[in-house]
Amino acid sequence: MEKQQFLYEGKAKRIYATADPDLLVVAYKDDATAFDGKKKGQIERKGMLNNRISSFFFQLLASRGVDSHFVRQLSDTEMLVKKLDIIKVETVVRNIAAGSLSRRLGLAEGTPLSRPVLEYYYKDDALGDPMINEYHIYALNLADRGQLLKIAEDSLRINEILSGYLRGKNIILVDFKLEFGLFKGEVLLGDEISPDTCRFWDAETGEKMDKDRFRRDLGGVSEAYAEVLDRLTGGKS
């Protein structure tokens, strides 16, 4: 499936149309941003690494019964996906306190949570993606009850699948962000699942293997992303 006209450039990816109106090409970039786009940079090979890592996770989820927009990997940096009507609600699932949860609730980073926490954020760059709850979602007509139930159930199921899988690869899944959209009336997982959108910690050393290395200037960013891919695929990707 050839990519056709360029449709959209985001912070991490470019989107192209294809000959099939139901399908898009997502091209992953090396560009990195943090803090609502205030910090900008490039991470060598990130486009390739995130495309491969996301492709791997979408296939893993499909094999466990969680459908997504993913159709197939097209090249090192591109994947073919179903075109979604993106729902403006991002979910974050957390297993361990870090980032904004640590700041908001005064929990030391690394504090285990006694059960997973599911949060909703309003997908609106101009507002800085504020946290919202079910009442806001229904009041703003961002999703209906059936759609939100599916989003919540899928998010928690994805957490179970990915946490368990990654634990076997000596990686702790601390937290992650997901996006969903509508495809022919059905709610499907979209966007990406990568070290840009998840916190991964090495199970032995606690070392960060995700975008916090970029956010906090820890160095070794692309090496950490490459290590995630290596552990997932056993070096066979």
> Which residues here bind ligand ADP, judged by CB under 6 A?
10-13, 15, 24, 69, 81-84, 86, 179, 181, 190-191
State in angstroms the smallest separation of the CB of 68 from ligand UDP: 16
What count of Cα atoms within 13 Å lies in the side-chain half-sphere of residue 140? 15
203-212: Cβ within 8 A, 24+ apart: 203/167, 203/170, 203/171, 203/172, 204/170, 206/110, 209/171, 211/32, 211/34, 212/98, 212/99
How far apart CA 20 and CA 69 sit, in angstroms, is: 14
Of the candidate residues 3, 14, 82, 177, the single one contacting ligand UDP (CB under 6 A): 177
Letters for 82-111 (x = contact with ligand UDP by CB under 6 A, - = none) are: ----------x-----xxxx----------
CB nearer ligand ADP, residue 15 or residue 107: 15
CB nearer ligand ADP, residue 176 or residue 201: 176
State in angstroms the smallest separation of the CB of 21 from ligand UDP: 28
CB nearer ligand UDP, residue 99 or residue 116: 99
* Residue 177 binding: pick among ligand UDP, ligand ADP, none (C-beta 5-8 Å cut-off by kind): ligand UDP
Dihedral angle computed from the Cα positions of residues 48, 155, 37 and 26, in that order, rounded to the nearest 10 degrees: 40
Burial zone of 93 (CB within 10 Å; 0-12 exposed, 13-18 middle, 19+ buried) = buried
* Residue 179 binding: pick among ligand UDP, ligand ADP, none (C-beta 5-8 Å cut-off by kind): ligand ADP
Burial zone of 168 (CB within 10 Å; 0-12 exposed, 13-18 middle, 19+ buried) = exposed
Binding site for ligand UDP (CB under 6 A): 92, 98-101, 129, 175-177, 197-199, 211
